[in-house]
Amino acid sequence: MIGASLGALVSHWRRQPGQFATLILGLALATALWTGVQAINAEARSSYAAAANALGGSAEEFVRPGGAFTTEDFVTLRRAGWRVSPVLEGWLPAERGRVRLIGLDPLTAPPGTGAADVAIETPLEFLTGAGQILAAPPTAARLGSGQGAPVVAVDGLAPGLAFADIGIAGRLLGRSGEIDRMVLHPEQVTGLAKPSGLVSGLERQRPATAEDLARLTDSFHLNLTAFGFLSFAVALFIVHGAIGLAFEQRRVVFRTLRTLGLPVRLLVILLLLELLAIAVVAGGLGVGLGYLIAAALLPDVAATLRGLYGATVEGTLTIAPLWWGLGFAIAILGTGVAAAGALWKVARLPLLAPARPRAWARGSATTMRAQLASSAVLGAAALVAGLTGGGLVAGFVLLGALLLAAALALPAILAGVLSLGARFARRPLAEWFWADTRQQLPGLSLALMALLLALSANIGVGTMVSSFRLTFLGWLDQRLAAELYVSAEDARQAAALLDHLDGRVTALPIWGVDADIEGAPGEVYSVADHTTYRETWPLLSALPGGWDRVAAGEAAMINEQLARREGLVPGDEVALPGGALTIAGVYSDYGNPLAQALVSPATFVVRFPDADRTDFGLRVAPEDADALRRALTEEVGIDPGRIVDQEALKAVSRQVFERTFAVTGALNVLTLAVAGFAILTSLLTLANMRLPGLAPVWALGLTRARLAGVELLRAVLLAALTALAALPVGLLLAWVLLAVINVEAFGWRLPMHLFPGQWAALFALSLLAAALAALWPARRLARRPAADLIKVFAHER
């Protein structure tokens, strides 16, 4: 019985290969987008873990806040019995973002230090002479040659990191004899002398863990996850539609089977089995697709994470078996969610209910009312989340509720508009057009909801990115006011530089140091008392005479993210190494995840005597910039690579910016594509069911071509209405992104700008998408043999 029943059920798909393909593809797409995003996140997380464990995952380390240790400090501790290993860190220039260099001592490195195990196999090459830089193959490829030491690709090293002997690293980074931190061997002898008594300024701390890195980049990953989820939801609309229709069309079969004695439980089980098989097939396809998506997007994501957060991630994807499993799980889960309603109906199907696929497509006013009610509830939830909730999660709840509410309200809104259209129609064909469009609405509404989601997301994200870009570029202009930026090799060259300029050209010191601000990692910069800052620095708020107070050494300027995070306003105090300072002002500092403070050069020198003071911004008339650059190279002997002009610096900043949003853009396009696919499949599915509606009109004297034109128009009209509805939703979304999510995720609030040109383009694009999606069914209709239409009048369909 089971075999025969299953055969009868499955035969449906043989007769409806298009529907089957829709189902599989929809499910595969849902799985693909979701798993793709998850794969990217997983890859990044594993990179963080690898980076955190690059030194054996040491439990503790010694640091000297605000300064470095010397080799002698290390020897002192070792000779006192402390099993410590020195680490010196810095950055190496590389293609598509810098690479973090870890200088280590392979002989004392804690167990589990992968790089040390490799290094020790060729000790002579690694420790002496030019040394070696070890890196995972993709990182090694980015480093290329010309690093001052040969780069050796080694499988299994933490991606995005480079390793060299500490002596070699000292030379490469220009910091010979320095040690940033000393990691402790997990096994220590007890009863040793207190280390802080042996080496001044020494503090013991837990090193950065994978969680620390993950926390910093959490907002970014949450963004990706939200997008993945959105795409998943959009694609599930397709699946839901396909499954619902297939079940409805098979009601006759269900009824017959049950009449023939198949228990309803067994029927449901068989259907579950069928769905499981479909989910597994689609899941496999989806995971494969997801891999491709992830592999295509990861290079940009990695570049963003490196550029924006200094995280060490490479653009190559490694697949974990767990990830495959999760892909299948999400496919099965998605199928379950999409099919739950249909299955429930089957379980409660009265034996004599007639098959009414058209009724299914038409839906009912009740459904619409229910949708409207859920929409209201979700809207209220969004309002509550927006008003009361703080934090990123509340922000995303707000976003999700908002989008879903809008999607659920869409059919009712469209129905209203179409009724209005019908009221104003005068000609019979027009009347029929409006009435028929309205009747088709429920069948298309899932696809239209998907389109609404995709379009709103597009408008919202587009507005956010464009607002950000506009603000960012303006801000760059303010921030990069100097014409030339010079980085001298050492103090001696810096002195020679100032000597050469001799006051003829203003040199603004740009001295910075990594330091704890309000107890969290941040950076402190010096800022000269100069009109450049007074006139152009992008201040959001300031005390009167703020710059004077900074110049007097009694105050500091802080960046927006620090002010928001700690709830600081001008006039408050900010805790800095060497004592708190009054906050003179708050400035915007986009693209920087760290807290930052500006102090006067005098204050800087006193508080950070060891910091490098070799970087300067030079104010020079733009036409003299080239001459000055030549003079600095030829007369002061500064390497041309150490002089950057404003334009080049801006170009680099813009590049980082564009990369940051490249992924968002790509996902945006994908989501839109999925929505387009949803429309196409819905139209195709409906095309067959529409014949009984179209055949009488044809018989009454309309050509097939004309009918096809009307069908095309109908799709375009619905898309147009949906796009119009998407506009306010998208703008609301943009506002949430700019005013809620960005503040929570990055710590800065951006002004919102409107881009009607973008909307027009998107509007045109969605019309085009709908027209393209409708074109195929319409063409099929136009070319349909008359016999197909005639059959309508002769057979029960």
Partner 1 sequence: MTETDLPLALESVTKTFAGPDGPLPVLSGVSLALGAGETLALTGESGSGKSTLLHLAAGLETPDSGAVLIDGADIAALDDAGRAAIRRERLAIVFQQFNLIPSLDVAANVAFQARLAGRHDPDWTARLLERLGLADQARKYPEVLSGGQQQRVAIARALAPRPGLVLADEPTGNLDEDTGDRVLDLMLELVAEANAALLLVTHSSRLAERAGARAHLSHGVLA
Partner 2 sequence: MNAKPVLFLALGVVMALSGPARPQGFAGLGQNADGFALPAPDPVFRFPEDHGSHPDFRIEWWYLTANLWDAEGRAYGAQWTLFRNALAPEGGTGWDTPQIWMGHAGLTTETDHYAAERFARGGIGTAGVVAEPFEAWIDDWQMTGPWLSDITVTARGADFAYRLDARSTRPFVPQGAGGYSVKSPDGQASYYYSQPFYEVTGTLTLPQGEVAVTGTAWLDREWSSQPLSEDQTGWDWFALTLPGDEKLMAFRVRREAGADYIVGTWIAADGTPSPFDPGDIAATPLATTDVGGGAVPTTWRLEIPARNLDITVAAVNARAWMDTSISYWEGPVTFEGSHAGYGYLEMTGYE
614: helix, coil or strand? coil
What is the distance between the alpha carbons of residues 254 and 524, in angstroms, rounded to a whole number?
A: 73
What is the distance between the alpha carbons of residues 513 and 491, in angstroms, rounded to a whole number?
A: 15
How buried is 765 (Cβ within 10 angstroms: 0-12 exposed, 13-18 middle, 19+ buried)?
middle
439 contacts partner 1 (rule: CB under 8 A) = yes
703 contacts partner 1 (rule: CB under 8 A) = yes
Instruction: Pick the piece of the chain touching partner 1 (CB under 8 A) from 67-75, 216-224, 434-442, 724-732.
Output: 434-442
> What is the nearest approach in angstroms of partner 2 to the Cβ of residue 74?
8
Type of residue numbered 109: A
Cα dihedral sign, 488-492-494-500: negative
CB 477 within 8 A of CB 750: no
CA 254 from centroid of its chain's CA atoms: 45
Closer residue to partner 2 in complex, CB, 72/626: 72
790 contacts partner 1 (rule: CB under 8 A) = yes
Instruction: Pick the piece of the chain touching partner 1 (CB under 8 A) from 224-232, 468-476, 671-679, 699-707.
Output: 699-707
Q: Which residues contact 106 (CB under 8 A, 6 or more apart)?
A: 113, 115, 116, 117, 119, 120, 123, 126, 127, 165
> What is the nearest approach in angstroms of partner 1 to the Cβ of residue 725?
23
695 contacts partner 1 (rule: CB under 8 A) = yes
79 contacts partner 2 (rule: CB under 8 A) = yes
705 contacts partner 1 (rule: CB under 8 A) = yes
75 contacts partner 2 (rule: CB under 8 A) = yes
What is the distance between the alpha carbons of residues 587 and 602, in angstroms, rounded to a whole number?
A: 21
365 contacts partner 1 (rule: CB under 8 A) = no
> What is the nearest approach in angstroms of partner 2 to the Cβ of residue 170?
7
* Closest CA relative to residue 709, chosen from 433, 424, 443, 442: 433
Pick one of partner 2, partner 1, none as the site partner of residue 78 (Cβ within 5 to 8 A by kind).
partner 2
702 contacts partner 1 (rule: CB under 8 A) = yes
Tokens 């594509």, residue?
673
Entry field: residues in the chain: 797
Instruction: Pick the piece of the chain touching partner 2 (CB under 8 A) from 122-130, 291-299, 435-443, 488-496.
Output: 122-130
Which residues does residue 102 pair with via DSSP β-bridges, in sequence order?
89, 163
796 contacts partner 2 (rule: CB under 8 A) = no
Q: Which of 73, 105, 178, 248 binds partner 2 (CB under 8 A)?
A: 105
Site string for partner 2, 133-172 (x = CB under 8 A): --------------------------------xxxx-x--
Q: Which of 10, 21, 68, 80 binds partner 2 (CB under 8 A)?
A: 80
> What is the nearest approach in angstroms of partner 2 to the Cβ of residue 146?
21
111 contacts partner 2 (rule: CB under 8 A) = yes
692 contacts partner 1 (rule: CB under 8 A) = yes
Closer residue to partner 2 in complex, CB, 158/594: 158
Pick one of partner 2, partner 1, none as the site partner of residue 742 (Cβ within 5 to 8 A by kind).
none
* Closest CA relative to residue 312, chosen from 382, 405, 213, 220: 213
What is the distance between the alpha carbons of residues 294 and 302, in angstroms, rounded to a whole number?
A: 11
What tokens were used for 251?
């009601």
Type of residue numbered 752: M
CB 113 within 8 A of CB 106: yes
Q: Which of 174, 391, 640, 696 binds partner 1 (CB under 8 A)?
A: 696
763 contacts partner 2 (rule: CB under 8 A) = no
For the range 470-473, what are the long-range contacts, defined as Cβ-Cβ under 8 Å and sequence gap of 24 or more?
A: 470/753, 471/588, 471/590, 471/750, 471/751, 471/753, 472/590, 472/591, 472/657, 473/654
Closer residue to partner 1 in complex, CB, 609/696: 696
787 contacts partner 1 (rule: CB under 8 A) = yes
> What is the nearest approach in angstroms of partner 1 to the Cβ of residue 710?
12
What is the distance between the alpha carbons of residues 771 and 761, in angstroms, rounded to a whole number?
A: 15
Q: Which of 124, 387, 700, 787 binds partner 2 (CB under 8 A)?
A: 124
What tokens were used for 54?
């690059």
CB 393 within 8 A of CB 724: no
Pick one of partner 1, partner 2, none as the site partner of residue 790 (Cβ within 5 to 8 A by kind).
partner 1
> What is the nearest approach in angstroms of partner 1 to the Cβ of residue 25?
30
What tokens were used for 364?
């009912």
What is the distance between the alpha carbons of residues 251 and 2, in angstroms, rounded to a whole number?
A: 18
794 contacts partner 1 (rule: CB under 8 A) = yes
116 contacts partner 2 (rule: CB under 8 A) = yes
What is the distance between the alpha carbons of residues 392 and 123, in angstroms, rounded to a whole number?
A: 49
CA 58 from centroid of its chain's CA atoms: 31
From residue 93, alpha-carbon distances to 156, 162, 299, 402, 788 in Å are: 22, 11, 17, 44, 68
What is the distance between the alpha carbons of residues 113 and 106, in angstroms, rounded to a whole number?
A: 8
> What is the nearest approach in angstroms of partner 1 to the Cβ of residue 16?
21
The interaxial angle of helices 691-699 and 646-689, nearest 10 deg, is: 70
Pick one of partner 1, partner 2, none as the site partner of residue 75 (Cβ within 5 to 8 A by kind).
partner 2
432 contacts partner 1 (rule: CB under 8 A) = yes
Instruction: Pick the piece of the chain touching partner 2 (CB under 8 A) from 30-38, 78-86, 507-515, 786-794.
Output: 78-86
> What is the nearest approach in angstroms of partner 1 to the Cβ of residue 420?
16
Closer residue to partner 1 in complex, CB, 208/435: 435
What is the distance between the alpha carbons of residues 693 and 703, in angstroms, rounded to a whole number?
A: 14
- Interacting residues with partner 2 (CB under 8 A): 71-72, 74-75, 78-81, 83, 105, 107-108, 111, 116-121, 123-124, 127-129, 131, 165-168, 170, 187-190
- Interacting residues with partner 1 (CB under 8 A): 358, 427-429, 431-432, 435-436, 438-439, 692-693, 695-706, 786-787, 789-790, 792-794, 796
